[in-house]
Amino acid sequence: MVKSCRTHWLFFLAAAIRQLGDNRIISAFSLKVGGLRVDKASLRTKDPASAYSFVLSSAMDLMGNDNYYSRVNFLATQVWPSARVAASQIEKHAPMINAQSFCELGCGPGLPSITAAKIGINYVWATDIDEFALSLARAAAEEQGLVVKTRTVDLLSATNLPDCDLYVLSDVFESAAVARGAARICEELLRKEKAVWVFAQSDRVQREVFLRDMKQRLGEDAMEWSPVEIGPVAAAKSLPNFWLADINETEVNYE
């Protein structure tokens, strides 16, 4: 039983790591966060001035039976293609959106949040359920001299969201339950006239659970994902502040 579980996890890991592409710069120094080895993952790998996150160097460091770190969710320790796209979209469009404050939900290592701080948004919150992810985000922000505040927020029960202008969710639909939780939160935020920008790959099947739930909650059937290239466009005529970015992970530019 344990063995088949382990094999399953390895297959999953191999598939997941393929999606990371040329994500990371292996650092010459041995950086550590919370005792675990990390690398830098820059928004643009060839641009040393671009924002970066810290990502776990080796998934193997989370394995082992009595390991404290076996509680860490590997998915929360990497910058996924969606976060990279979200970060560059924020860099490009945030000045036009004119957000004074920014909050990311399910941030993982928080590249979009770090980028938001870097382009000068004053109040930036990175939130996730995974404590190690929040440590990664804090450590990378601090090293870049940026202020990114972190808070533990569970998408299934969130009642303690920071109050901001713009909310970003990147690749958070890990399960149907999370997708429904995210929909409940997004509805609430939109009713408060906040801007909500959701990024998701088309192969994340649970994103359709999210979309269906949003349609129902807001009584709006026309809602759709838009190609990310066209920037923040309304998901429906009645929802000018709700943006749904469709990501094709094979087309994400790392340079």
Ligand X SMILES: C[S@@+](CC[C@H](N)C(=O)[O-])C[C@H]1O[C@@H](n2cnc3c(N)ncnc32)[C@H](O)[C@@H]1O
- Which residues of the shown chain bind ligand NAG in the complex (CB under 6 A)? 202, 248, 250-251
Q: Which stretch binds ligand X (CB under 6 A): 31-39, 64-72, 125-133, 247-255?
A: 125-133
Tell whether residue 232 is a contact of ligand X (CB under 6 A).
Answer: no
Residue 130 identity (one-letter amino acid): D
**37 CB-near residues (< 8 Å, 6+ apart):** 30, 31, 56, 57, 58, 61
182 binds, among ligand X, ligand NAG, none (CB under 5 to 8 A by kind): none
Span interacting with ligand X, options 24-32, 36-44, 168-176, 244-252, rule CB under 6 A: 168-176
> Is residue 20 within the footprint of ligand X (CB under 6 A)?
no
What residue is closest to ligand NAG based on CB?
A: 248
Least gap, CB of 130 to ligand X (angstroms): 4
Helix (H) / strand (E) element for 37: namely strand 36-42
What tokens appear for 87 in the block?
């970060």
Cα-to-chain-centroid distance, residue 78: 9
Q: Tell me which residue of 245, 230, 174, 163 sits closest to 204, measured CA to CA.
A: 174
Minimum separation from the CB atom of position 87 to ligand X (A): 9
Q: How many CB atoms lie within 10 A of CB 22?
A: 9
Q: Is 165 exposed, middle or buried (0-12, 13-18, 19+ CB in 10 A)?
A: middle
| H or E element that contains 129 | none
**Does residue 185 belong to the site contacting ligand X (CB under 6 A)?**
no
Compute φ and ψ for 197, nearest 5 degrees. Answer: -120, 115
DSSP 64: S
Between residues 84 and 138, which has the closer beta carbon with respect to ligand NAG?
84
Considering only residues 39, 91, 128, 249, which one is a binding residue for ligand X as defined by CB under 6 A? 128
**The two three-digit tokens of residue 8, written as one number:** 């399953």
Which of ligand X, ligand NAG, none has residue 232 at its interface (CB below 5 to 8 Å by kind)? Answer: none
Shortest distance (Å) from residue 215 CB to ligand NAG: 21
The radius of gyration of the chain from alpha carbons, rounded to an integer in Å, stands at 17
Give 157 or 250: the residue with its C-beta nearer to ligand NAG: 250
CB of 215 to ligand X, least distance (A): 22
With CB under 6 A as the contact rule, the residue among 51, 56, 59, 76 that binds ligand X is 76
